[in-house]
Amino acid sequence: MGSDVFDVIISGGGPTGTMLAAELRLHGVDVVVVERDAEPTRLVRSLGLHQRSIEILDQRGLLERFLANGTQYPGGGRFAGIASPQPVALDTAHDYILGMPQPVTDRLLEEHAAELGAHLRRGTELIGFEQDDEGVTAELADGSRLRSRWLVGCDGGRSLVRRLLGIGFPGEAATNEWILGEGEVTAAADEVAAVSEVVRTTHRGFGIGPSGDGRYRAVVPAASVSEDRSTPPTLDEFRTQLRAYAGTDFGIHSLRSLSRFTDATRLAERYRDGRVLLAGDAAHIHPPLGGQGLNLGIQDAFNLGWKLAAAVRGCAPDGLLDSYFAERHPVADEVLTLTRAQSVLISAEPGAQAVRRLLTELMGFADVGRYLAERVAGIGIRYDFGDGPELLGRRLRDVRLSQGRLYELTRDGRGLVVDRTGALTVAGWADRVDYVSDRSDERSDDVSELIAEVDAPAVLLRPDGHVAWIGEEQQGLERELRRWFGAE
Ligand SMILES: Cc1cc2nc3c(=O)[nH]c(=O)nc-3n(C[C@H](O)[C@H](O)[C@H](O)COP(=O)(O)OP(=O)(O)OC[C@H]3O[C@@H](n4cnc5c(N)ncnc54)[C@H](O)[C@@H]3O)c2cc1C
């Protein structure tokens, strides 16, 4: 690989940037991630992963290492802190939430990208760039330059890449701010738990609980929305706010991290300008209600990776790269709708409380609980691939095929045809698309579950597991292979 010329530069080595780097490496793309921070952050923002992200980990062979580092909790059935009275069983082989502090998620994704050969340059800040017809020249804080064919801004909510492109970021400015800190406390564990429970009955934006290694993670509303959010809060400010809400600061000390976040809610007007793209928080921000931001970023990367790789390799069909925005912008918009709704539902205002009571009753209906749970979990997403059966455009859940598990067959990030007829072929696309015959042998126990899932002889899955075609005719298959994978 060349030292300072790459196919793709990713600005930002958070979960979105490293997931994208790994996805690009699956296709041999020469990618470098430039990350401003010299050391990984210890700040625990996200606390876990939802069902669709867990499926994605399984689709890339990462599940075991994530399970070994996390804790499984029952999934589904919770919205704005309201629990469904009955368990909601979702249509996934992984119906649980994986509890995991964000630094662990970040580390595991970074390791995965590095194992696949991505370069990560820490302590390297992007300060500007210029694009031309052939590529992008990135300017770094140390005065050096990097050249690439594409640049992706995965540089978080205050994305420099987005600002330099002048891409609009409409939405609502922050009206509330919270302080988030992690440290040790002198108060006894049962006292912390008891006080937290009482305070949360009136202030749902407050919370304190163990975060491992004897530490506690506390979130408390700030006194006001600060003018300059790049300045971290002080320990005094944190203690004052804890006392204001809980009547005690729990004797918090030896802080490991202290930061602020707000309820600002915004969505980028475009995710692409020429050879520069946006993904993750750089494209959308919202309060962390429902714990969706990191999940959304990983899923953006999963959608973009194979498309950008095809553009790099010169085999991307017309419109493929722009389908990234067409597919992911509505998904982010939907997440913003969910977080806006939850922001209202946790308010102490009488009107909001009345809506909360009503929703609590509605969530007693199994269909309502399922509807909300599916949306938060990210498994109900259906991209618009045109008219067709209900499953078209949806991700296929993991099913047992006559030759193993479906998700085990998708680890290389290629397209996949699962064929029950044995008569189809992907000849002409075999460098981009795998083929598996799913003809159950009636004399053995290896009966495929596919027929129960898809009532059709064959399916074409994109590298992100979404169903691109359902049918049995070779001609129809080839039309869709061309549409998603380019000419033979
Ligand atoms: C309190 C809180 C709780 C949360 N809980 C959850 C949760 O439970 N579940 C969930 O899914 N999400 C949660 N989130 C959201 C989640 O933390 C973010 O959505 C996620 O980190 C976004 O990932 P990202 O990679 O897009 O951006 P980031 O994680 O922000 O990473 C961006 C990276 O870019 C780097 N960078 C920035 N500018 C430059 C530059 N100019 N040059 C080089 N590098 C640069 C930064 O140093 C950073 O490492 C929470 C957020 C908060 C604040």
Distance from the CA of 251 to the center of ligand 1, in angstroms? 29
Q: CA-to-CA distance for 400 and 196, rounded, in angstroms?
A: 45
CA angle 254–260–266, rounded 5-degree value: 155
What was the pLDDT predicted at 158?
A: 95
| Ligand 1 environment, Cβ below 6 A | 11-17, 34-37, 45-48, 102, 125-126, 154-156, 160, 180, 261, 280-281, 288, 291-295, 297
Residue 447 CA to its chain's centroid (Å):
33
What was the pLDDT predicted at 318?
A: 94
* DSSP one-letter string for 402-456: TTEETGGGGTT--EEEEESSS----TTSTTTEEEEE----TTSS---SHHHH--S
Q: Tens digits of per-residue pLDDT, 54-79?
A: 999 999 999 999 999 999 998 777 89
Does residue 325 have a pLDDT over 90? yes
Antiparallel, parallel or unpaired: β 177-184 and 215-221: antiparallel
pLDDT band per the 50, 70, 90 thresholds, residue 13: very high
Q: Tens digits of per-residue pLDDT, 439-486?
A: 765 545 555 677 677 778 899 999 999 999 999 999 999 999 999 999
- Name 236's Cβ contacts closer than 8 Å, sequence gap at least 6: none
Q: What ligand 1 atom has the least distance to the C-alpha of 293?
A: 19
Q: How would you classify residue 38: left for phi > 0, otherwise alpha for psi between -120 and 50, otherwise beta?
A: alpha
Nearest CA residue ID for atom 13, ligand 1: 46
Q: Which amino acid is at 104?
A: V
Q: What ligand 1 atom has the least distance to the C-alpha of 159?
A: 38
Distance from the CA of 360 to the center of ligand 1, in angstroms? 31
CA nearest to 72, candidates 54, 96, 92, 90 = 96
Q: CA-to-CA distance for 373 and 379, rounded, in angstroms?
A: 9
Q: Tens digits of per-residue pLDDT, 352-403?
A: 999 999 999 999 998 998 999 999 999 999 999 999 999 999 999 998 888 7
Sign of CA dihedral 25, 29, 33, 39: positive
Nearest CA residue ID for atom 9, ligand 1: 291
Distance from the CA of 14 to the center of ligand 1, in angstroms? 6
